[in-house]
Structure 1
Amino acid sequence: MRKIVLMMSVSVDGFIEGPDRELDWHMVDDELHRHFNEQLGAMGAFLNGRVTYELMAGFWPTADSDPSSTGPMVEFARI
């Protein structure tokens, strides 16, 4: 039997998003990307909700060829 792992970004005071659904507090740097890469790379699959999928689908399919992408971002795009 496989494990189900939940990964969520939550602020220290328990918020996932701002009052207008903004995620401007959620800053993803190379260190956090490396952590995500390590965690997601070990998984057989991962599932996003509709809103997260729509946010990701606009950038990640071509991020590995974007010259502004850092090494950890390129690696994340290929997972």
Structure 2
Amino acid sequence: MARYVVDVMPKPEILDPQGKAVLGALPRLGFAGVTDVRQGKRFEVELEGEPSDALLAEVREMAEKLLSNPVIEDFEVHVQ
């Protein structure tokens, strides 16, 4: 079984209201020194077979077509 992880994050120039909300809450909870927070998504995809370049390419295609919005998000895919 091959397991891949897709991490999706908003592009740096895109506003991240969820990240800003977390950033505002952290000092109220006693966490000092945090200068920025960005919130993203993580997908774990299991495929039949052993990890390979072909399966990695297939997961990248999944990320481009469904798991992310390429207009406002960047993603990284790696084998776990």
TM-score, reference length from structure 1: 0.23
Q: Tell me which of the two structures has the higher relative contact order, counting C-alpha pairs closer than 8 angstroms and 6 or more residues apart.
A: 2
- Which structure features the higher share of helix residues? 1
Instruction: State the structure with more CA Rg.
Output: 2
